[in-house]
Amino acid sequence: MVAPRLGISVRIDPGLYLSGLSQGVARHLGDLRVALRSLEDGSFSTKASAPRPGALLQFTFAPTARPDTAAVRLCNRCFVNIVAELITYLDRMIAFQRCRSRQMTIPSGVTTQGDLLQFIRQQLEEEYSAVARDRRLSNPKKLDSFPGIAGIARDSALSYFAVRRTIEHHGDHPEENIALWYGRLKLVAGSVELTTPGQAAPPGAGISLGMDHVSRMIPAKTPVSLTEAELEHIVFTIQHLIGPEVRRVALESKPDGVAGPADGS
């Protein structure tokens, strides 16, 4: 009689990756706000021209751009950093899918639950590194690894990739028109959107949150000029639409993989 092969089913929830994505994009937006407020109140220029504490030599550089131009550059760079966080998240979720869909052979030295968890983490990290290094995987192709995500999430992510490519590789000037998509959160009183602080709501109307899927066309050959308000909507879209949709599709796509011992016993 042949002894049955021992199988260990491991269930992994990639919620940690989604949490990391949310924190990462929020951190970049927070850093941007610090810089923009410093530009607005003039403290940035003052502090930039002040001697560096403890420095024997101080190099002074003339400003190369007006404050509004500097603000656009800061917003564009923040956007690139935000999209980089999204790409890292996609890489990790692709690695998760691949590990989840295959059978892993447990090394003989893995004898405890802690050993098993460490082994799985190592497999995920190795697969993530392989995905991130694979130049055949363009960012749109990475998104294709999650078929079935909501259209609003897909359209938004693809537009972010296009704008990022323009900033990084085409000197901020798109070669063709780009529709920048995002979910715009809004405050609604009954059927009236509240748009300004102190705006009175209609008598007896209930207050609720709503969302529109909106876009702004960036014309070809026109410099990309993102705003803080747009970045807020983009961060919201990544945190609450794209990230959760990718996670949903990844978890629904295939059953958990099974890890078996190396000796087949």
Domain range list for the chain: 9-43+66-254
Q: What is the pLDDT of residue 73?
A: 94
pTM of the model: 0.83
User: Is the separation of the CB atoms in 175 and 220 below 8 Å?
Assistant: yes
To the nearest 10°, the Cα dihedral for 223, 91, 33, 58?
-80
CB-based burial, 201-239: b 16+ in 10 Å, e otherwise: eeeeeeeeeebebeeeebeeeeebebeeebbbbbbbbbb
User: Is the separation of the CB atoms in 262 and 214 below 8 Å?
Assistant: no
| Secondary structure letter of residue 241 according to DSSP | I
**What string of pLDDT tens digits covers the 265 residues of the chain?**
343 445 666 677 788 999 999 999 999 999 999 999 988 887 666 666 677 677 666 666 665 556 578 899 999 999 999 999 999 999 999 999 998 888 777 888 887 888 888 888 899 999 999 999 999 999 999 999 999 999 999 999 999 999 999 999 999 999 999 999 998 888 888 878 888 887 888 888 888 877 788 899 999 999 999 999 999 999 999 999 999 999 999 998 765 554 555 444 3
What letter represents residue 148's amino acid?
A: G
Q: What is the pLDDT of residue 210?
A: 77
Q: What is the pLDDT of residue 157?
A: 98
Distance CA 153, CA 90 (A): 13
